[in-house]
Structure 1
Amino acid sequence: MKRPVIRVSFTTRPSGRRRHALGGSAREVREVEPLRPGDPAEIGGYPVLARLGAGGMGQVYLGISAGKRHVALKMIHDGLDAPDALARFRREVATAERVRSRYAASMVAAGLSVPPYWLATEHVPGPTLRQAVERHGPLPPSLCLSLLAALTRGLAEIHGQGVQHRDLKPGNVILAPDGPKLIDFGIARGSDQTQITRTGAWAGTPGYVAPEVIREQDQSFAADVFSLAGTVAFAATGRPPFGRGPVEALLHRTLTGDIDVAGVEPRLASLIRMCAEKDPRRRVQLPRLLELTADAVPPAADPAYRAVAGTGEHLPRDRAEAVTMGLAPAAPRRSRLLLPILAAGGVGAVAVAVALVVQYAPFGNRANGGTPSHQAGAHSSTPSGAGAGGSGTPPSATTPANGVPPDDFLVQALDDHFQNVKWQGPDKPCSPTSRTEPGAPDGLQTSAPRSTSEVKAGGTTTLSARFKYERPSPYYVAAQVRQPASMTGSDSDGVVTSGPKLLPTDGTYADFTFPSDFKRKKPAELVKGDYTVIWLHVRPNGDAYYLGCDGFTVG
């Protein structure tokens, strides 16, 4: 008899991490990361100094202009050359180009003629509003009023240019030294631009998206005002404006419940409620909101703002300093063996050099013969840290030409909550909520046993995942299993990870057998207790990102 399973479905959307984000990026990223093998040394003539994170469609790098101005370089992902993906990226560039506001990150340049396609925007120093609240707690009422006034002016300016942001939230507000700036125009749209989002889908972040967008996909400037309400409510309370929980619960509260302003100073609470009216026709308009907040102090003049916006971040001023800081690799030295040969000149020298390269090339990288270094579905053989949250050794290979990710992938934890994500039981969400991969397909469904009688200690079980609505191809997934506390000890950290498997494109599930598909120094085994299953998307370059969580109990 086939075991019963419950299919858990949820939509992936970004939430936050303490790193750096800029206009055109979909991640909150404030700290630079070292470059990895395969990363470019320059993009569009801009030297690349470090990584800043990943957007919905591309990797974001820190670059430097000829005038020593730091820029954010977003380069579209390999393989995202489908017409709709290119259309989205071109629209993002067009939107960034038309936005001119002191309250928004400005565009610097773009390359759209030949791949790889890229977009450069100014680098905005400072934490996101989300990060500031997470570090310092709820902000003072006077500062929240100042932020409301400044963001209102920012929205009024970009709306005046015919652009709707469509994803205003705490993670998309940078607290720059001279005042807050709106970032991430990746899903923004001008009033004269055509709709690209497929029918039945809407753009935005649950908990901040307006009710009319959820119900009717009615995107208008008024929807940004609703998102502004949630953003300022979060700053004032430190709580999500419509609570926590599954996406479905957030959407239901957005449609039927009241925004959370419990304990907020009365005047500020009243302004937030005016922005959060369910009916967009009754929602306060920006000109009126500017009048109601006219007495607010400019944020940069407020000592409380300077206390939370201050940044001691030191960025490299050129590629050489990036190398010194350990952010960029040093230029490879020419082989001492080849130099005398090449100095001899002539065809014979070249022939000998080529023979030496072939003779001493890594066996797994040969074009013909031998065992390829990356195989789909193979078991991971890296230390447990490499697959357990980004603490292992980065993959040593560049992105393979065949698009198959390496077995020794590295999990890129997008926030500080990732390591603590834990399954809470059947019909309950995993907690705490962690950031999922930006731009991930919608409708992830997972399968795991739901009864303690279905799987016993010493036995096996099957874990499965698929996307219900989309058919991404090629798309590799892996599972990380966090075992009961009894499995944590001197010879095990209680975490085991599978190798990546190619997701079927016909809507069927990718299956992983536990424990046989999960290999470590000490073989995994089923014992009594609760297991958490973390689902990951493994990219061809060896980066793996969190997609969702599930779990099961062994009786």
Structure 2
Amino acid sequence: MESLRPEDPTSIGGYPLLARIGAGGMGQVYLGLTEGGRHVAIKVIRDDFESEQALARFRREVATVERVRSRFAAAMVGAGLAEPPYWLATEYVPGPTLRQAVAAHGPLPPGTCLRLLAALAHGLLEIHRQGIQHRDLKPGNVILAPDGPRLIDFGIARGEGQTQITQTGAWNGTPGYVAPEVVREQQPVPASDVFSLAGTIAYAATGRPPFGGGRIEALIHRTLSGDIDVDGVDPRLAELIELCARKDPADRLPLEELFRRTASEGALADDPGYRRVVGDPRPVPARLEDAIATGLVPPERTTTGRGPGPRSRAAVIAASAAVVVVVLAGALGARAVFQDDGTGPAASGTERPSQGPSAGAAAGSGTGAGGPATGTGGSRAARTPGPDGRPPDELLLKQPTSDYQNVNFSETDHACLPALRPEDSARQRQMQLSAPRTPYKGKTVEFGMRHKWDTPPGYYVAAEVRVPRGAAIGNAVSGAARSKPQLVKDVDWTYLTYPTDFEWAGSGGAYPLIEGTWTIVWLHVHSNGDAYYIGCDGFTVA
């Protein structure tokens, strides 16, 4: 949960805003408050994300969420579709995403995984019976609430009678979790959600992506022809995962049978392993005055006008009926249209990590090894510095070349290869870096930087930590996590701790330390969030 920024609205749809709780590829998610004191998560579409196709997709998301009636999904509260800013409000669900919980606590016990499998199978059964497929089930789209899991982010979900809103030859989903038939035929079926469920539970049980990491092409190849990773998983759980992950959808275990086999495991909310990773929900301000008192809302920003009042469900349905469907014809090569792997409209109050290339992508466009907010362009909206000149947390990497995407620390050469040109060669010459120089063992690692002689005032840096090359963990595209900008004080060391300082919404996903050579890329962050390469370091975990 983060404080509101100067560029943030005071209210949306008549709901006062209390804090930022996440960011997605399509926009920002805020914590809002109804007149009755109920907390809501409000997803607001970015100003620069208003193409006909994007708006049609958002309207379809609203129409889909409106139809879902399940205790396993966050309920819709209202929406605004008539004019910008477009928004969707759902009930606020406290708790971490499954991805965040596993990243923080490690794999879940077998019994907990079986109970989670039963709960998610039950949830999918309910929404399938309502004629809706989720189509992007993954660890980042499962919130672990104290009373059980919730499915979130129906941004690419599709109900019966809804027209596909993708380009011909393209498919929606997340590599590593999307089903083979979706990649091959671009035609998801209900059993496609079962395949994604298998990958989600495999991740919960192992802490590893179900089909490994690496390049998109390798992920897709392993999805189409390889076996799901259940190495070391409890035999009974592994068997169920494999039955749900069969390549032919007709061969997969039906949800009804899956639920029958797992329902006797007991309530997930009573499971000790589940309660351990969920923990106590973070307190949220009960009133606007509480948000002001805790610094989440600046006092001077509470007197501005309120937006239009909340939309009624009838108005939402009427507006949703006006969906503009855009289908672009043409024979295009199959490609993935990525979805956020973190905060959706029912975001938790912890972070988005999305797992995924678009986490924090509100800052710019493009993806790559640079993590969640790379790009060469992007709107300057919502990219103004804070009152003290502090840059925004989400960065826009300037000129992300292929060399930048491929740079890695070499333990043999004690240097990062390929060599990159820094933003300021003179300043790099007085830059000193600190990281373990001998094989390291531990769950956290500290590293730092400083300028030997002087530092310009208001000089901010951020670090990007990359998992070992070829490691079977990391986010689906990059395996990179970024810190928030840090102010460098004159000649003093600026230290960061991994993964502690990299566990925040928009980081890209901080993963546990594993054996191999890790890379640290240092960036100079300008006040508007533009980030430039200034140096590179690394360390080896034994």
Please classify the TM superposition score into its range, dividing by the shorter chain length. 0.5 to 0.7
1:276 paired residue number: 245
- Whole-angstrom distance in 2 between the partners of 1:549 and 1:111: 43
Cα gap change, 1:455 to 1:75, in 2 (>3 Å): closer
Question: Counterpart in 2 of 1:410?
Answer: 391
Closer/same/farther in 2, CA of residues 281 and 327 from structure 1, 3 Å limit: same
The within-5 A match list for 1:466-477 is: none
Give the conservation status (yes or no) of the 8 Å contact 1:411–1:544: no
Query: In the alignment, residue 56 of structure 1 is paired with which amino acid?
Result: G
Alignment match of 2:287 (pick from 318, 327, 333): 318
1:62 pairs with one of 31, 35, 55: 31
**Structure 1 residue 201 corresponds to structure 2 residue 170:** yes
Give the equivalent residue in structure 2 for 1:191. Answer: 160
Residues 217 and 534 (structure 1), Cα distance of their counterparts in 2 relative to 1, 3 Å cut: farther
- Structure 1 vs Structure 2 CA RMSD: 4.4
- Residue 40 (structure 1) aligned with residue 9 (structure 2): yes
**Cα–Cα, structure 1 residues 170 and 521, in superposed 2: closer, same or farther, change >3 Å?**
closer
CA distance in 2, matches of 1:109, 1:235: 32
Does the CA-based 8 Å contact 2:7-2:384 persist in structure 1? Answer: no
Identity %: 56
1:27-48 Cα offsets, whole Å, 9 max, x none, are xxxxx10000021111111111
For residue 51 of structure 2, what is the aligned residue in structure 1? 82
In structure 2, distance between residues paired with 1:206 and 1:190? 22
Partner of 1:27: none
Corresponding residue SS for 1:268:
helix
* 1:92 equivalent in structure 2: 61
Q: Aligned equivalents of 1:48 and 1:426: distance in 2?
A: 38
Greater relative CO, 1 or 2 (CA 8 Å, sep 6+): 2
> Aligned in 2, Cα 1:231/1:457: closer, same or farther, shift over 3 Å?
closer
- Structure 1 equivalent of residue 479 of structure 2: none
**What residue is the counterpart of 1:253 in the other structure?**
222
| Change over 3 Å in CA distance of 1:291–1:549 after alignment to 2 | farther
Shift of 1:413: 5.2
Q: Deviations over 1:146-190 (max 9, x none)?
A: 000100000011111111111111111111111111111111111
Question: Which residue of structure 2 aligns with residue 341 of structure 1?
Answer: none
Partner of 2:191: 222
Aligned match of 1:132:
101
Task: Give CA deviations for 1:208-253 in whole Å, capped at 9, x if unaligned.
Answer: 1111212221211111111100110111111111112222222221
* Change beyond 3 A, Cα 1:48–1:450: same
Asked if 2 retains the 8 angstrom alpha-carbon contact of 1:409 and 1:544, the reply is no
Letter in 1 for 2:276: A
- SS of aligned partner of 1:53: strand
Q: What per-residue deviation string (whole Å, max 9, x for no partner) do you get for residues 113-166 of structure 1?
A: 222111100000111111111222111111100000100000011111111111
User: d(CA) in 2 for partners of 1:140 and 1:549?
Assistant: 42
**CA positional deviation for 1:331:** 2.6
Distance of aligned partners of 1:283 and 1:550 in 2 relative to their CA distance in 1, 3 Å threshold: farther
C-alpha distance in 2, partners of 1:74/1:261?
Answer: 35
Report the secondary structure of 1:124's partner residue: coil
Which of 253, 273, 278 is the equivalent residue of 1:309?
278
Q: Which amino acid aligns with 1:184?
A: D
Q: Secondary structure at the match of 1:410?
A: coil
Matched, 1:160 2:129: yes
User: Does structure 1 conserve the Cα–Cα contact (< 8 Å) formed by 2:75 and 2:91?
Assistant: yes
**1:285 offset after TM fit, Å?**
1.2
Amino acid at match of 1:42: S
Q: State the match for 1:212 in structure 2.
A: 181
Aligned-partner Cα distance in 2 for 1:549–1:323: 37
* Residue aligning to 1:177: 146
2:312 alignment counterpart: none
Q: Deviations over 1:456-487 (max 9, x none)?
A: 99989xxxxxxxxxxxxxxxxxxx9xx88488
Letter of the aligned partner of 2:204 in structure 1? A
Q: Does 1:147 align with 2:116?
A: yes
Q: 1:325 to 1:544 in 2, by over 3 A?
A: farther
Where in structure 2 are there 5+ consecutive unaligned residues? 304-369, 373-378, 410-415, 435-448, 463-487, 491-518, 538-542
State the SS of the aligned residue for 1:326: coil
Letter of the aligned partner of 2:268 in structure 1?
Answer: P
AA of the residue aligned to 2:162: Q
1:295 is paired with a residue whose SS is helix
Match of 1:12? none
How many residue pairs are counted as aligned between the two chains? 383
| Paired residue secondary structure (2:249) | coil
Cα distance between partner residues in 2 of 1:69 and 1:299: 25
1:205 and 1:83 map into 2 onto residues whose CA distance is 23
Give the whole-Å Cα distance in 2 for the aligned partners of 1:238 and 1:108. Answer: 34
> How does the TM-score come out when normalised to structure 1?
0.60
Query: Residues 404 and 113 of structure 1: is their aligned pair in 2 closer, same or farther, counting only changes over 3 Å?
Result: closer
Q: Deviations over 1:265-301 (max 9, x none)?
A: 1110000000110111211111111122132211012
How far 1:521 sits from its partner (Å)? Answer: 11
- Letter of the 1:203 counterpart: N
- The change in CA–CA distance for 1:327 and 1:290 in structure 2 (over 3 A counts) is same
Give 2:173's aligned amino acid.
G
8 Å Cα contact 1:108/1:122 also seen in 2: yes
Distance between the aligned counterparts of 2:228 and 2:534, measured in 1?
27
